[in-house]
């Protein structure tokens, strides 16, 4: 099945920080299955990929798809326990954050924004219009269907908007906006 918008595929990379148990690391499985290319040093990053970075001031939009085809999309695989320090680093490329989504992985099930590396890459691909590639990327995980069940409406809505204001509006409609009292 071809994606509606793109016949090309996005290049998918993971920056492996090796902070997690390798048996539970979704990025390691993606690399092993050939669904993502592992990058082990920042100096090895070539071009100007889209870097999924939850502290970026800018949201990922469907319009970023051309950059994903040309330079790729990269997730930074690190432990959530060390994420705050990791994501304060200025990573090369075009830094983008994902809009609010619920995790389906067993460690952070139904927690908003606590996606595994595989879930983050899947969501990014889906939002940019690479729906078939997004499903393929998450297919090695038993909770793949759950991720789409939890986030179906949100993913479809995010993929339809063409502005960051549109993303914020969707988050507000679903009650997912970050308040001043959130940590």
* Tokens at 68, concatenated: 């994903």
| Cβ neighbours of residue 158 closer than 8 Å, sequence gap 6 or more | 99, 127, 167, 170
- Arithmetic mean of pLDDT, 43-63: 89
Q: What is the pLDDT of residues 28-43, one digit of tens each?
A: 899 999 999 999 877 7
Which residue in 121, 151, 152 sits closest to 134, CA to CA?
Answer: 121
CB of 59 closer than 8 Å to CB of 178: no
Q: What is the pLDDT of residues 66-119, one digit of tens each?
A: 999 999 999 988 765 555 655 666 677 899 999 999 999 998 899 999 999 999
């Amino acid at each position: 099945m071809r994606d509606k918008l793109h016949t090309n595929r996005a290049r998918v990379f993971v920056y492996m920080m090796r902070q997690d148990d390798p048996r539970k690391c979704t990025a390691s499985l993606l690399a092993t299955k050939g669904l993502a290319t592992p990058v082990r040093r920042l100096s090895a990053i070539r071009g100007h990929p889209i870097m999924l970075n939850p502290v970026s001031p800018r949201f990922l939009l469907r319009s970023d798809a051309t950059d994903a085809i040309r330079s790729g999309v990269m997730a930074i695989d690190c432990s959530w326990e060390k994420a705050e320090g990791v994501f304060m680093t200025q990573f090369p490329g075009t830094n983008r954050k994902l809009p609010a989504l619920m995790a389906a992985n067993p460690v952070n099930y139904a927690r908003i924004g606590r996606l595994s590396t595989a879930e983050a890459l899947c969501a990014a691909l889906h939002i940019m219009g690479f729906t078939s590639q997004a499903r393929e990327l998450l297919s090695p995980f038993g909770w793949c269907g759950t991720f789409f069940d939890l986030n179906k409406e949100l993913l479809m809505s995010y993929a339809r908007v063409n502005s960051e204001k549109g993303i914020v509006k969707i988050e507000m409609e679903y009650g997912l906006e970050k308040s001043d009292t959130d940590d």
